[in-house]
Amino acid sequence: MKILSISTSSNIASVSISENENCILELNIDNNKTHSETLIPLISKLLKDTNLELSDIDLIACDIGPRFFYWY
Q: Is 39 within a domain?
A: yes
Which of the four pLDDT bands, split at 50, 70 and 90, describes residue 8?
confident
Q: Is 60 within a domain?
A: yes
Which of the four pLDDT bands, split at 50, 70 and 90, describes residue 9?
confident
DSSP the chain: -EEEEEE-SSSSEEEEEEETTEEEEEEEE--SS-HHHHHHHHHHHHHHHTT--GGG--EEEE----GGGT--
**Where residue 58 sits, what CATH number does that domain have?**
3.30.420.40
* 16-63 confidence digits (pLDDT tens): 999 998 999 999 998 888 777 888 999 999 999 999 999 999 999 998
Domain that holds residue 51: 2-65
Q: Is 18 within a domain?
A: yes
Q: Is 71 within a domain?
A: no
